Amino acid sequence: MTSVRRSISLVFALVTSIAASLLAGDYYFADGVQWIDLVRIGLLALSTAWLAWGASIAFNGLAANPQTDVPSIPVRDFVRTAILVPVYNEDPVKTFSHVAAMAKSLAALDALGQFEFAILSDTRDERIAGRERFWVERLRAEVPDAKIYYRRRESNPGKKAGNIADFITHSGALYEYLVILDADSLMEGATLVEMVRRMEAEPELGLLQTLPKIMHSRSFFGRAIEFSASYYSPIYARGLSVLQGDEGPFWGHNAITRTRAFAQSCGLPELPGKPPFGGHILSHDYVEAALLARNGWKVRVDPDLIGSFEEGPDNVMDFAKRDRRWCQGNLQHGRLVAAPGLKWWSRFVFLQGIMAYVAAPLWALFLAASIVAPALSVVPDYFPEPGHLPVFPHVEQAVAIALLTGVFGLLIGPKLLVVLDGVATRRNHEFGGSLRTSLSVVVEVICTSLLAPIMMLFQTRSVLQVLAGADGGWPSADREAGRVSLQEAWTGSWWIVVIGLTTIGATYRLAPDYLVWVLLVAGPQVFAPLLIAATSHAPARWMNRLGLFLPSLERRQAAVIAMQEQLLARWRSLDEANKPEDGVPQRPVTISADEALHERSGA
């Protein structure tokens, strides 16, 4: 069945791409065939195929069964699971509050005895390391019944993958399963227990990935991302799950793996050559999933598993910074597409990841080619036969409109279908009802449309940097990145403004007929610093009163989040009262769901 779905989806993408190419050909060739038109059609074909593939994932998700069929097998009396929390220059007060909340959530179910926490520090900053040592004792005092290990590596070869491999080679034989988290991950105890149960029920399952929902967003941008992740992602993840079947994804965190399967399959080498294409594998998670599948283990994502959370970027700059690392990691996978023994679907997933980033420069090239094309066009011969009436080129405006409608349909159509599905299944009630949900969808689409041209340039720059050999490495995450000032936004995006203005100027000069369309792309680019700064602010009170981007019911009712927020508030006041001399700046308390509803001034 998986093969059938994959074939249908691929055919859909191909047919849509061919249809778009034919329509484009009708439009572009109206005044004769030129080489630039062939370039435009080629770029359009690739981009449309990519959009259509994305839409097909949503269609599959809407058609799929929302619940995973799990055999009903009781868990063995004692199954030892380690919960790994790799940290790298994080704020230990915040990270350890997550650990404490998860421990308490497990204790409430009388399940704490089956789990052990291992905080695996790769922290390089000695002041932060000192605070880690201080706060791990505070953590142990908070949850005395929890088994909590703390280890800091002297050096961090292999970064996060190496950190986890180090744990496995030191202590892995003790544990049946490993739950791999990030420093900002948070999971309900019931979810952790259920993950173990599902692994027990299917001995051939090597890795089970949950769909983490975003929490603790404060800014307009963050709340939009949180809404997208909660509202659309379960549908898309379901679609991904049915298409990927037993060769599913691993996203690096909020997942459980069978220790022996992972150890047997996922020892990652350094690739020959220097970064960005050589050296340590940056986006190791996709490779680990492919290697598990290569060794015959099933890898699956179960979107019906709720109670899995992570934090997301709260502003465009932070999003772009994270995206730069992911871009490098995905392009590096180009070295691995031909790796021996991989399943064909795993190779396709690598190509898919590469395309996710290459799509941006393709669109940029398409835009550039469209602006330049009129300047290169041949003047039509109005009198091909002397003495006869003039012959004018037949410009197919209807074809152009059909093409544009199709492209917008692929972009927006799936989202509208998710709304309609929400009406039919009453899922919209979790987001405040169909009216509020529709409002959030409309605003999210507008926000995405304004930011997409800016992100297109960030991603294009990332691709060019990687292809030019620039190694972005793995910078520490600024998980508390708050507002971006106009000055900071200008520093980070002045070059986008320049490109936007240049594009408008070139269009006015070379292809004035396209100016209105080009303004849809170049306009937001010209205002990039303003958009970046504005969306980093908290939503206005009136937006919250309307229920815009209302956190989902799952988010609002998550006991582990409430527990973590209370713990963090208490620890912050302790931290302030006993502030060490190291001068490490304190971080604000993260915003709770109630506060997000009633709007605070933010960080």
Partner 1 sequence: MTADRKNNAEDATGLPLAPLAMPQQVLVRQRRRGLFSHPRLAWLSWR
Residues that bind partner 1 in the complex, under the rule CB under 8 A: 118, 140, 144, 147-151, 153, 165, 167-174, 259-260, 263-269, 271-272, 287, 291, 335-336, 338-340
Give the residue with the Cβ less far from partner 1, 260 or 343: 260
Give the residue with the Cβ less far from partner 1, 336 or 455: 336
Give the residue with the Cβ less far from partner 1, 206 or 313: 206
Least distance from partner 1 to the Cβ atom of residue 466, Å:
18
Joined tokens for residue 238: 């379901």
Give the residue with the Cβ less far from partner 1, 268 or 372: 268
Least distance from partner 1 to the Cβ atom of residue 335, Å:
7
Q: Is 230 exposed, middle or buried (0-12, 13-18, 19+ CB in 10 A)?
A: buried
Which amino acid, 518? Answer: V
Give the residue with the Cβ less far from partner 1, 138 or 429: 138
Least distance from partner 1 to the Cβ atom of residue 567, Å:
19
DSSP annotation of 247 reads B
Give the residue with the Cβ less far from partner 1, 140 or 587: 140
Least distance from partner 1 to the Cβ atom of residue 287, Å:
7
**What element of type H or E holds 149?**
strand 147-152
Least distance from partner 1 to the Cβ atom of residue 94, Å:
22
Least distance from partner 1 to the Cβ atom of residue 302, Å:
26
Least distance from partner 1 to the Cβ atom of residue 149, Å:
5
Distance CA 246, CA 261 (A): 15
Asked if 214 and 230 count as a contact pair (C-beta separation under 8 A), the reply is yes
**What element of type H or E holds 235?**
helix 233-244
Please state whether beta strands 115-121 and 81-87 pair in parallel, antiparallel, or not at all (unpaired): parallel
Distance CA 483, CA 533 (A): 7
Annotate 493-523 with three-state secondary structure.
HHHHHHHHHHHHHHHHHHCHHHHHHHHHHHH
Q: How many CB atoms lie within 10 A of CB 572?
A: 18
DSSP annotation of 261 reads H
User: How far is residue 23 from each of residues 20, 190, 396, measured CA to CA in Å?
Assistant: 5, 52, 9
Least distance from partner 1 to the Cβ atom of residue 293, Å:
12
Give the residue with the Cβ less far from partner 1, 71 or 340: 340
Asked if 535 and 451 count as a contact pair (C-beta separation under 8 A), the reply is yes
Query: SS3 of 84, please?
Result: strand
Asked if 153 and 449 count as a contact pair (C-beta separation under 8 A), the reply is no
Give the residue with the Cβ less far from partner 1, 170 or 541: 170
Joined tokens for residue 59: 């269609």
Q: Cα angle at 203 between 197 and 208, to 5 degrees?
A: 60
Least distance from partner 1 to the Cβ atom of residue 169, Å:
5
Rounding to the nearest 10 degrees, give the CA dihedral for residues 589, 595, 600, 603.
20
Distance CA 479, CA 282 (A): 19
Least distance from partner 1 to the Cβ atom of residue 170, Å:
5
Looking from the CA of 228 toward its CB, the CA atoms found within 13 Å total 15
Please state whether beta strands 205-209 and 255-258 pair in parallel, antiparallel, or not at all (unpaired): antiparallel
Q: How many CB atoms lie within 10 A of CB 474?
A: 16
Give the residue with the Cβ less far from partner 1, 147 or 322: 147
Terminal-to-terminal C-alpha distance of the chain: 49
Which amino acid, 561? Answer: I
Give the residue with the Cβ less far from partner 1, 130 or 172: 172
Least distance from partner 1 to the Cβ atom of residue 129, Å:
13
Rounding to the nearest 10 degrees, give the CA dihedral for residues 373, 378, 379, 383.
-140
Q: Cα angle at 211 between 158 and 315, to 5 degrees?
A: 75
Give the residue with the Cβ less far from partner 1, 267 or 469: 267
Least distance from partner 1 to the Cβ atom of residue 238, Å:
30
Distance CA 252, CA 262 (A): 13
Least distance from partner 1 to the Cβ atom of residue 267, Å:
4
**What element of type H or E holds 179?**
strand 177-180
Asked if 301 and 211 count as a contact pair (C-beta separation under 8 A), the reply is yes
Give the residue with the Cβ less far from partner 1, 124 or 335: 335
Annotate 15-72 with three-state secondary structure.
HHHHHHHHHHHHHHHHHCCCHHHHHHHHHHHHHHHHHHHHHHHHHHHHHCCCCCCCCC
Give the residue with the Cβ less far from partner 1, 151 or 587: 151
Distance CA 521, CA 516 (A): 9
Give the residue with the Cβ less far from partner 1, 219 or 257: 257
Least distance from partner 1 to the Cβ atom of residue 98, Å:
20
Least distance from partner 1 to the Cβ atom of residue 370, Å:
40
Give the residue with the Cβ less far from partner 1, 12 or 149: 149
